[in-house]
Amino acid sequence: MKTLRLLAAAALVALVPLAGVAAQPFPAKQIRFVVPYPPGGPLDAVARLLGQKIAASIKHPVVVDNVPGAGGNIGAGVVARAAPDGHTILMGAVATHAINPTLYPSIPYNAEKDFIAVTQVATTPNVLVVNTGVEATTVAEFIKLAKSKPNKLNFGSGSTGSAGHLAGELFKTMAGVDMAHIPYKGAAAAMQDLIGGRVDLMFDNFASSLAQVKGGRVRALAVTTAKRTALAPELPTIAESGLPGFDISTWFGVFVPAGTPKATVDRLYDEFAKALNAPDVREKMFALGAEPVASRPEDFAAFVKAEAAKYAKLVKSSGAKVD
């Protein structure tokens, strides 16, 4: 019995350091905010904006780390394998968590099982834009034009399987029109051909198209989201223009590795929600073409699950794939 008591005491002593680690407050050090895309885009800009705001609140640095490659898969995989302590977080997106799991034959993470959703950060609507030579000023007029010229019109996108490509495939199906898809190495190249008249239309990110629309170099017909965007309330939705149920958007949000304690997830949500509701942050995000969201973890998780199911069906029906 004496031996058993000594062994029990020793075990308790051994557990003391572990208990100290478990009780360690969050945040205890610098936070690594992984952006799985190159610097310069709206997602990266919003991550840096929020990182600065949150760092000032938690009194610890929030360092944005760009880990691009494979459509966002490499950076997402890095976070999936990180310690689940809240100090490595991901700015995920519709691509990493809804499109890529079906688009790629294999990815270095399980989008559903390897992450916990913290909050949706923003949505950036896509917009249907045509070159100025296309004789249509509304979605209805464009559908009529496309039906009168089967297989004569084409649409460009930044890549196969991108939100712009899938929006075009959904449009073809719902409108009952035939158009050829032309994938480019980036949306900027596709936009240049749209302006030059070599491409008839695009479903482009609103923020990227805004300058071209305002300059009169392309014509915007409608946004792809279910509701009109506050960024351009005068533009109708495709859904209200004759294709009810049409809803495609580019969104991004924060994820942490599976196993992260609920208290840590809740603290991260509180910090992001506070930053996203700050007037100066909202103003800057709108200027970037991004609408702030700040949904609760359970709401964001349900949204991501629904988006994954929607895009899985769309990717399969379109035949899009990346080897």
The tens digit of pLDDT for each residue in 87-109 reads 999 999 999 999 999 999 999 99
Residue 251 per-residue DSSP state: E
Q: What is the pTM of this model?
A: 0.84
Weakest-pLDDT range from 22-26, 75-79, 254-258, 301-305: 22-26
CATH class of 125-241: alpha beta
Q: CATH code for 29-124+250-318?
A: 3.40.190.150
What's the pLDDT at 24?
A: 64
Task: For the chain, give every domain's residue range.
Answer: 29-124+250-318, 125-241
Is 239 within 8 Å of 233 (Cβ atoms)?
A: no
- The yes-or-no verdict on residue 11 having pLDDT over 70 is no
Q: Do domains 29-124+250-318 and 125-241 have the same CATH topology?
A: yes
Reported as a single tens digit per residue, the pLDDT across 153-194 is: 999 998 888 889 999 999 999 999 999 999 998 888 999 999
CA distances (Å), origin 299, targets 42, 115, 188: 23, 15, 33
**pLDDT over threshold 50, residue 1:** no
Pairing of the two strands 153-157 and 179-183: parallel
Helix H segments across the chain?
Answer: 2-22, 42-58, 73-80, 94, 100-103, 139-148, 163-175, 187-195, 206-214, 262-276, 279-287, 297-318
pLDDT for 16:
42
Q: For 28-47, what is each residue's pLDDT tens digit?
A: 999 999 999 999 888 899 99
